[in-house]
Amino acid sequence: MVMEETERRIGLSLGERRTALCTDGGRKQLSFPTVLCRSKRGEEWRIGEAALEMGREGSGFLLEQLFSLYRKGESASLGDRKYSAEELMETFLRLVLEEAGGGEKRDGKEEEGESGEQEESGEQEQGPEALIEEIEDAALEPEDSPVSEEAEAEAEEESGGEAFPDFLPGRSILVVSLRFMDQALMERLRALLSAMLGESFELCILTHTESFIHYMLRQEKLLYNRKVGMFELEDRSLSYYELRVTQGAKKCAFAFSEPQDESISLEALETESGQKTGDRILRRLAERKLQKGNYGLVMLCGKGFENTDFARNFMSYLLKGRKVCTEQQLIALGALYYSEVLAAERTEDCRLLCDSRVCCDISLRVSVRERDKSLILASAGEPWMGLSTEHELILDGQNYIDFRLSPASSMGSASQLRMHLNGFPERKDRSVRIVLKTSFPDGEHFRVEVRDDGFGEIYPSSGAVLTEELDLRKTAGGA
């Protein structure tokens, strides 16, 4: 596919303390604090370092906890005016995206986008299932559900319904990466950005963990033929990530992330005692996480690893038989690389299994025209946010529904979870019609709603409705 010159691909990492932006194939990289400042003399706004400078000079009203305020949906007063969380985040994002559009650079450090390899040491190296008859053949395919109309309408009302200035014409794609999978937060952010950008933008929101996967899959395969560990260090935020890519017919990329209870202040790293403490924390974490695994590569990302001289003991441990690479803007680059996948209208060549993707295949055994089939409700590797289905079924002499959970890889075996329909009417065989709705409140639970839909004029609906959340962590052999 040939990309039009006017089209833009943008990867954006939006964090509590720092925001990073990558575009132009990774050649343009910007990183700056997630802060916003309004001039005391009017509606002149600054972000990042320029905002901090305006605040230090006393010529502006500085807001440092912008992302936290937005996540909580709280308002803030700057001078004599009170702003909603949506207004403040929209202002911040407009200024950020102007950087991507080649507008006047307000602040942020532009960097070259290649990750630098620091050093290398060592070589690289079924049980019985009840039958349920389905009414419509079309129900054999899962359906995506868009963001709620209410959320989009609310964001559009907050922003005044004005479209974003068309400085990025063509089919532009924006991929935003957030640290955690929070469905309510992501829906709000999607509605806000959709109202801002209009139809000229394709928008995707994912997590840092998924960004990590997309970044690694763009690298040489030798770098991830064994486990990959990653340490992300930002101011007062320390996280550990892990990636494993399996080969074979069912190629999968498993990844997870863990925020650590201990954190490191980047300001403290400017002192000798702070450096010793930071080195000790990192060394302990590395020993705990890496001692038993076969790791070929360790990645370091985040502003805290802008310089690793303070962490000599930590680095010496990492370099024993492993490659170590640093890429401060890895998360934003991973988001950018995924925007290029979307632009090419393709998918990754393996299933992605992480906090933003369905962890297993979920299906029912049904009978269609006297032939048994699997009704797929969700497939492993699909983004679970917004994924929902609705099917009309007829029970075949049973008061329960069995859901089959099949692991994405060949490791492990399928398991079964049963939902009992207690309180549903007892009728003749094949005369209980139900409406089955499914959705995901989060990546670990599968919500099922079953409603008695009656059976024509013979059996009116009883109005019975049952809702249950199935724990997907019980999947045998799951990720």
Nearest one of 207, 262, 204, 216 to 237, comparing CA atoms: 262
Which residues are registered as beta bridge partners of 448?
Answer: 438, 468
* Predicted pLDDT of residue 162: 42
Q: Is the pLDDT of residue 346 over 70?
A: yes
Write the pLDDT tens digit of every residue in 442-478. Answer: 888 999 999 988 776 677 778 889 999 999 876 544 4
| pTM for this entry | 0.82
Tell me 171's DSSP state: S
- Average pLDDT (216-241) is 95
Q: Using alpha carbons, list the distances in angstroms from residue 423 to 326, 397, 420.
A: 58, 15, 9
Tokens of 451: 């409603």
Q: How far is CA 457 from the centre of its chain?
A: 47
Q: How far apart are the first and last CA of the chain?
A: 34
User: With the C-alpha atoms ordered 461, 463, 464, 467, is the resulting torsion angle positive or negative?
Assistant: positive
- Average pLDDT (332-356) is 94
Tokens of 15: 């964090």
Which residues are registered as beta bridge partners of 230?
Answer: 241, 299
* Predicted pLDDT of residue 355: 94
- 10 Å Cβ neighbour count for 123? 7
DSSP H helical segments within 264-363, as ranges? 272-290, 312-318, 330-343
Write the pLDDT tens digit of every residue in 44-58. Answer: 999 999 999 999 999
Nearest one of 347, 349, 345, 348 to 2, comparing CA atoms: 345
Tell me 179's DSSP state: S
Report d(CA 413, CA 421) in Å as an integer. 26
Cβ atoms 466, 450 nearer than 8 A: yes
Write the pLDDT tens digit of every residue in 171-196. Answer: 699 999 999 888 899 999 999 999 99
> Is the model more confident about 109 or about 441?
441
Tell me 419's DSSP state: E
Report d(CA 293, CA 286) in Å as an integer. 11
Tally the residues of the chain: 479
